[in-house]
Amino acid sequence: MTVGILCEGGETDAPVLELILSHLFPDTTFVICGVSKRAIFDAGDQLLGDLFGKAVDRVIILWDLLPLGNQMGVASQWSEQPRRREQRQMLLQLLSRSEKLDSLLQQQARFYEHKYEFSEESVAHPNNECNLFELVCVCYSLDGWLLSDHSLLCELASTDEHTMRRLDPDPGKPDQCLNPALALKRVLGKAPNKRWRYYNKHIHNRQIAEAYIRKGRVDRLRRSDSFRRVEEAIRRWGCA
């Protein structure tokens, strides 16, 4: 099985996804395409088609709820408050009306539109109830997954001489932190271990993901609803 992942952050989110998913599903090949939120909502149809053109069997389109698209020069919803439902609807409109996708992928998008009550048109599932692609919106951004285990972050930030016993300020749960990258910068800025004191998501997100694997803490990532949705989608496709 080959699974394509269309996500934000070619240098940040994509390496984290590749590490974690390859660890959980060692017999599955992942083709990960990290782009901007603007690219997903402007050209997601082309990008989805390109992934299937690389002989992937299934695709997950994964994007962050924040920031809002209008802050990035792309229409991803109508209201000023972050709403996953509206962003999902905007993306499905792009996919279902696209002339760049084959008929089965268009039909999958129209099936979703009816399922989520964006359309009254009832559409048959194109692939016997086994979805060709899945949509997962991360609340609020994928950096939040790394906040799933505070004790792990404390371990990384500590030295043999000085132990960090709690994260201050407390960033909260992974799906409740509005700006997890800023939260990581603040809490690690107080780290006794200088290696982590100057947090840079382009460098440290991958290293934190490696620590989750090395220390056997990947299961803690399931504290994030969006992480569980990604994992469960892949398992439904028969990957083990």
Residue owning tokens 């994007």 = 63
Give the integer Cα–Cα distance in Å for 19 and 155. 20
The domain limits of the chain are 2-141+222-236, 146-201
CB 40 within 8 A of CB 33: no
- Tell me what pLDDT residue 59 has: 98
Q: Where are the alpha helices (DSSP H) in 5-58?
A: 13-24, 37-53
Q: What is the pLDDT of residue 239?
A: 59
pLDDT of residue 150: 97
Tens-digit pLDDT string for the chain (240 aa): 999 999 999 999 999 999 999 999 999 999 999 999 999 999 999 999 999 999 999 999 999 999 998 887 888 988 889 999 999 999 999 999 999 999 999 999 999 999 999 999 999 999 999 999 999 999 999 999 999 999 999 999 999 999 999 999 999 999 999 999 999 999 999 999 999 999 999 999 999 999 999 999 999 999 999 999 999 999 999 855
pLDDT of residue 69: 84
Closest CA to 141 of 100, 198, 82, 193: 82
Give pLDDT, residue 18: 98
What is the Cα–Cα distance from 226 to 218, expressed in whole angstroms? 14
Q: What is the rounded distance in angstroms from the CA atom of residue 69 to the CA atom of residue 133?
A: 22
